Structure 1
Amino acid sequence: MADIELILGNSNKRFSGVTSTMLQVLSVQKDLIPTAVMGPHHLAKDTPVLNFWQTAKLCRKPLPDGRSRVFHARRNDEMIHALLLKKLFGAKLKIAFTSTAQRHHSGLTKYLISQVDGIISTCSAAASYLERKPDIIVPHGIDESIYTPATDKAKAWQELGYPGKYGIGIFGRVRHQKGIDVLVDAVLPLLEKHPDFTVIIGGEITPSNKAFVDEQKAKAENAGVGERLIFIGKQPFERLPVLFRSMSIVAALSRNEGFGLTVLEAMASGTAVIASEAGAWKDIITDDSLGYCVPCGDVQATREKLDLMMADPERLLQLGVNGRKHVEQHYTIQREATQLTDYLRSLA
């Protein structure tokens, strides 16, 4: 433990998007810099874990070469933990915070940000909400060895057992914020015109969102296409890459988003994408050769772009090829981990 250079906050017992991105980066970062995690939640068995008091004891002294250790926080309470360690317990720490929120911060968050040594953001939209501008923007990446294109997309779709020849998928917790209703309202008038497409909606449905889901199902039934709007519920993590590569289109239409890995997962899977202008998606989909971006909540714009996409299945395949290349060049987890590690080491 004396050689640990980087300490990662991991304060939330509930698995969240922040947890997911931390774990994905950690899988590569641990081989780039000696790393421990403060908090045991959701970690691989071989991950070095510290509690608060162990961290205080470890960081009483700097590293053997005199450098400070770095604490990387991604949540408010993790910044608080790090500041307590530094200011009350004399820990020899530099503190970095990653801000992904696309909203104005509370007074508490602004204060905490003013106290840390380095600020990271993940996209230009999130950076624009920071009064203290980030020192660096490090977009998230994904493991492109997990999300891979299908050798034969038509066969991959057939193996799922759903009707039609082509799938339009939207994945994530099923609720209003994720824009499920935007997709439903946009696509239902197109399903008669493009009879080979079926819409697959995957994700957890909580009791509080049952009425919302029932409303979407009723729209499809009233339009006479109830069998082509299929809710498949929450899927195991290992099932998601299969679903992504089998779709012809993946939609990501959130009304707000911190970053949004869905688009990168779809692109890495060789699948065409249509996304709202939430999260980092405007940064990722830079032109129409990579897919389409539409304003958040805009049903008409979404319908127009979907109509173009559904009318040309061959072009969808090319969009998928282009998207895969884009991820390989700019959005791998290796790139994210390396860029983050280089910056965090510079703080020390």
Structure 2
Amino acid sequence: MIAPNFKRKLSGVTSTIIQLIPLQRANGLNIVTMGPGLPAELPSIGWTSLPGLWFKPRTRPFRIWHARRNNEMIAGILMRHVLRMKLRLLFTSAAQRDHQPFTKWLIRRMDAVIATSGKSGSFLKVPHAVIMHGIDTELFHPPQDNQDRFAASGLPGQFLVGCSGRIRPSKGTDLFVDAMINLLPQHPQWTAVMTGRTTAEYKSFEQALRDKITKAGLGDRILFLGEVPDVRLWYRRMTLYVAPSRNEGFGLTPLEAMASQTAVVASDAGAYAEMIEPETGTVVAAGDGLALEQAIAPYLADPEMCEEAGKLALAHVRQNFPLQKEAGRIGEVYEQLFAAGLKS
């Protein structure tokens, strides 16, 4: 199996490849990647190895080219249908929108397709398997020592509510700030934080939010932390995590927070609605600031409600969203492709 990565900058797709391949190899799969922007320790092949794809591997009738982007599908189609290399083509789709005609054409030429959520699968016009992303439940875990407690942050109050992600309208940062401005005066024991980078394009957006916070007299209780060295620590310090995005491709942060034993309020952007159960958190319509505020309010009023939801969230993620489960289900699709190839 070959999992190409044809994008130099780090992205969610790249992160998925980096996390999955070691697990897949531990499961006995002979899988490598190729392309830029990947850790040196990840098993990989270079372009000089491509002539070997004209020959079938020792133990399989062909290799599987597992694409996750359009340019990777194009490369696979060229290698299989033009160069006649011994490949079968698999595509994973995370997009939650109607695909462009050219993308639809590419997808129809795949031998198998995976959707990362039911929502993304609803836009596919071909048979597909739904395999949602998982997370490493060893990296993301509940508080273990005093550094994981809110008190270690040095911030005022007793409880922490936060959101994580780049500071920009698409992430709903303004919706979170507006909700906090309206709610925190009623709940003096709570402090709110935002972790994530602000690019130059959105500096004025951030400054407008800072001005609004200052005008509300909450500059010491609604804080921009910027990029933090380890966001996992802040998940563990939070009593409530909010994911207010207006749109997402998939969105892992609620899973990361729940794996840290933190209750969650989220919009229905990305796959959020498919990963959150009523007992583990609350989901509201994306972009609806009032609904977001109303969903957050009961948690701030009752920290014990957060604690109970956090415990159930932890169990839910460990059972349904471990990274090992994602790796195993992708492995099943590989085996189905091999079995179909033997019959054809």
Q: TM-score, normalised by structure 2?
A: 0.95
What does residue 221 of structure 1 align with? 214
Check the 8 A contact 1:153/1:246 in 2, yes or no: no
What does residue 3 of structure 1 align with? none
Tell me, in whole angstroms, the C-alpha distance in 2 between the residues paired with 1:147 and 1:21: 15
Out of 35, 41, 54, the position equivalent to 2:37 is: 41
Q: How big is each residue's C-alpha offset from its partner over 1:133-171, in whole Å with a ceiling of 9 and x where there is no partner?
A: 42x100100000011111468961111122211111111
SS in 2 for 1:59: helix
User: Which one has more relative contact order, counting CA pairs under 8 Å at least 6 apart?
Assistant: 1
1:63 equivalent in alignment to 2:57: yes
Check the 8 A contact 2:195/2:231 in 1, yes or no: no
Out of 290, 293, 296, the position equivalent to 2:283 is: 293
Tell me, in whole angstroms, the C-alpha distance in 2 between the residues paired with 1:27 and 1:280: 25
Out of 170, 176, 180, the position equivalent to 2:173 is: 180
Q: CA deviation at 1:281?
A: 1.1
Out of 239, 243, 253, the position equivalent to 2:244 is: 253
1:75 equivalent in alignment to 2:69: yes
Check the 8 A contact 1:154/1:166 in 2, yes or no: no
Out of 247, 267, 283, the position equivalent to 2:274 is: 283
1:130 equivalent in alignment to 2:130: no
Aligned-residue RMSD, C-alpha: 1.5
Quick one: percent identity of the two aligned structures? 36
Q: CA deviation at 1:13?
A: 0.3
Amino acid of the residue matched to residue 4 of structure 2? G
Check the 8 A contact 1:123/1:280 in 2, yes or no: yes
SS in 2 for 1:30: helix
Where has structure 1 moved over 3 Å in runs of 4 or more?
A: 151-155
What does residue 112 of structure 2 align with? 118
What does residue 254 of structure 2 align with? 263
Q: How big is each residue's C-alpha offset from its partner over 1:176-212, in whole Å with a ceiling of 9 and x where there is no partner?
A: 1001111111221111100111111111110110011
For 1:135-214, what aligned pairs fall within 5 Å after superposition?
Answer: 136-151=129-144, 156-214=149-207
Q: CA deviation at 1:47?
A: 2.4
Q: How big is each residue's C-alpha offset from its partner over 1:274-299, in whole Å with a ceiling of 9 and x where there is no partner?
A: 11001111111132x11000100111
Q: How big is each residue's C-alpha offset from its partner over 1:227-281, in whole Å with a ceiling of 9 and x where there is no partner?
A: 1111111123xx1111111111111111111111101000000011011001111
SS in 2 for 1:192: helix
Tell me, in whole angstroms, the C-alpha distance in 2 between the residues paired with 1:125 and 1:341: 22
Q: Which runs of 5+ in 1 are unaligned?
A: 1-5
Tell me, in whole angstroms, the C-alpha distance in 2 between the residues paired with 1:194 and 1:229: 13
Tell me, in whole angstroms, the C-alpha distance in 1 between the residues paired with 2:199 and 2:211: 18
SS in 2 for 1:209: helix
Q: How big is each residue's C-alpha offset from its partner over 1:6-55, in whole Å with a ceiling of 9 and x where there is no partner?
A: 10011110001111122111221122201111214222x33222233413
Check the 8 A contact 1:154/1:165 in 2, yes or no: no
1:310 equivalent in alignment to 2:268: no
1:98 equivalent in alignment to 2:92: yes
SS in 1 for 2:92: strand
SS in 2 for 1:201: strand
Tell me, in whole angstroms, the C-alpha distance in 2 between the residues paired with 1:124 and 1:52: 35
Q: CA deviation at 1:115?
A: 0.8
1:28 equivalent in alignment to 2:18: no
Q: CA deviation at 1:318?
A: 1.0
Q: How big is each residue's C-alpha offset from its partner over 1:102-155, in whole Å with a ceiling of 9 and x where there is no partner?
A: 111112211110111111001111111112242x10010000001111146896
What does residue 78 of structure 2 align with? 84
Aligned positions, number: 337
Amino acid of the residue matched to residue 206 of structure 1? T
Tell me, in whole angstroms, the C-alpha distance in 1 between the residues paired with 2:5 and 2:291: 39
Return closer, same or farther for 1:172/1:155 CA change in 2, 3 Å cut-off. Answer: closer
Deviates more, 1:316-325 or 1:155-164: 155-164
Q: Which runs of 5+ in 2 are unaligned?
A: 339-344
Q: CA deviation at 1:66?
A: 4.7
